[in-house]
């Protein structure tokens, strides 16, 4: 079955970029952020009322989206939740440290289908920092596996200054993505799903998926992440990923940021937000399914 996640686990960027909050949110600010997550979720609910979607899911954080997480679980919608601290260059747990077990207590409280971690990596990044991150990820991966839980690893491979060029996404990033996946596997990092930046051709997507499944990892899946891309880019990435055998997508800001900002500017009402989110979400499901 496919997996179509409406991603709304943004925290630092959600507060700063969408709500224009500087510094730590006040209690009143936090209430507004919680309301925003609830409103985005209503867009998913509206979409599923319009058309049943096998594989519908939500990726949401505990900090501002605990109510959404509980509502999704109650509704039978697939739930994924992050455990990384938002806005960090290198993987850091949101709650507790690796040896404390606190972070697993938070996982157990919400019981998500997938436990998500976002990481940034590139073979040309600092060797020691990369090793520390991979060791930490391997520890988390092992703990989750022992608990019978699936890891969803969101992998961003940003270009270094030396690699940066207009052709980076086509000529270099697919190969670098495959290299990082292989190096993480060798370090003991074993996600059930790799959340991958969009690739521009089925051949590139197939190569990345083949790396994710190498060494007998036949059940491992890949999904496309949104990267706040415009609709034409996302459509192209989804059309490349579907025939390559990807499982689906996790798209967030490309779906909900514009409608939510319009609502905050008093240009549309709550029903308008939900309607626009539903329409956009169903559009990407249709593109992926070739409808």
Task: Convert the pLDDT of each residue in 170-181 to its tens digit.
Answer: 989 999 999 999
Q: Please tell me the distance from the alpha carbon of residue 20 to that of residue 17, in angstroms, as a whole number.
A: 5
Q: How much of the chain exceeds pLDDT 90, in percent?
A: 95
Q: What is the pLDDT of residues 36-51, one digit of tens each?
A: 999 999 999 999 999 9
CA 121 to chain centre: 16
Asked whether residue 100 carries a pLDDT value surpassing 90, the answer given is: no
pLDDT of 145 higher than 70: yes
pTM of the model: 0.95
Residue 200 near residue 169 (C-beta atoms within 8 A): yes
Which tens digit of pLDDT belongs to each residue from 62-91? 999 999 999 999 999 999 999 999 989 999
pLDDT, tens digit, 9 for 90 and up, residues 112-129: 999 999 999 999 999 999
Binned at pLDDT 50, 70 and 90, residue 291 comes out as low
Please report the pLDDT score of residue 1 as a whole number. 81
Which of 118, 103, 184 is closest to 153 using CA atoms? 118
- Span 239-254, pLDDT tens digits: 999 999 999 999 999 9
Distance of CA 72 to the CA centre of its chain: 16
% of residues, the chain, pLDDT over 70: 100
The contacts of residue 256 (CB under 8 Å, 6+ apart) are 6, 8, 40, 43, 273, 277, 280
| Confidence class for position 99, pLDDT limits 50, 70, 90 | confident
Judged on CB neighbours under 10 Å (0-12, 13-18, 19+), 191 is buried
Q: Which residue has the tokens 């890891």?
A: 151
Residue 277 has pLDDT above 80, yes or no: yes
Q: In b/e form, how buried is each residue of 35-64, taking b as 16+ CB within 10 angstroms?
A: ebbebbbbbbbbbbeeeebebbbbbbbbbb
Domains recognised in the chain with CATH numbers: 3-289 (3.20.20.70)
Mean pLDDT score of the chain: 96
3-class secondary-structure state, position 272? helix
């Amino acid at each position: 079955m496919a997996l179509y996640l409406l991603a709304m686990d943004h925290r630092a960027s959600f507060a700063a970029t969408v709500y224009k909050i500087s510094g730590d949110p006040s209690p009143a600010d936090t209430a507004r952020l919680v309301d925003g997550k609830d409103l985005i979720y209503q867009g998913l609910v509206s979409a599923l009322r319009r058309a049943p979607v096998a594989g519908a899911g939500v990726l949401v954080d505990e900090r501002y989206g605990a109510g959404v997480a509980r509502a999704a679980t109650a509704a039978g919608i697939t739930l994924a939740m992050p455990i990384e601290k938002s806005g960090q260059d290198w993987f850091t747990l949101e709650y507790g440290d690796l040896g404390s077990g606190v972070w697993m207590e938070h996982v157990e409280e919400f019981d998500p289908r997938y436990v998500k971690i976002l990481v940034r990596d590139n073979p040309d990044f600092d060797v020691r920092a990369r090793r520390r991150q991979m060791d930490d990820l391997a520890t988390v991966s092992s703990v989750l596996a022992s608990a019978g839980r699936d890891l969803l690893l969101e992998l961003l491979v940003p270009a270094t200054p030396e690699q940066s060029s207009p052709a980076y996404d086509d000529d270099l990033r697919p190969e670098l993505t495959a290299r990082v996946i292989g190096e993480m596997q060798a370090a003991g990092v074993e996600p059930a799903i790799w959340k991958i930046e969009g690739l521009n051709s089925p051949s590139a997507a197939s190569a990345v998926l083949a790396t994710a499944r190498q060494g007998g990892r036949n059940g491992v899946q890949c999904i496309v992440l949104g990267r706040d891309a415009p609709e034409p880019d996302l459509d192209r990435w989804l059309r490349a990923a579907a025939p390559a055998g990807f499982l689906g997508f996790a798209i967030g800001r490309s779906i909900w940021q514009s409608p939510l900002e319009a609502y905050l500017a008093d240009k549309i009402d709550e029903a308008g937000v939900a309607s626009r989110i539903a329409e956009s979400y169903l559009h990407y499901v249709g593109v992926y399914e070739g409808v």
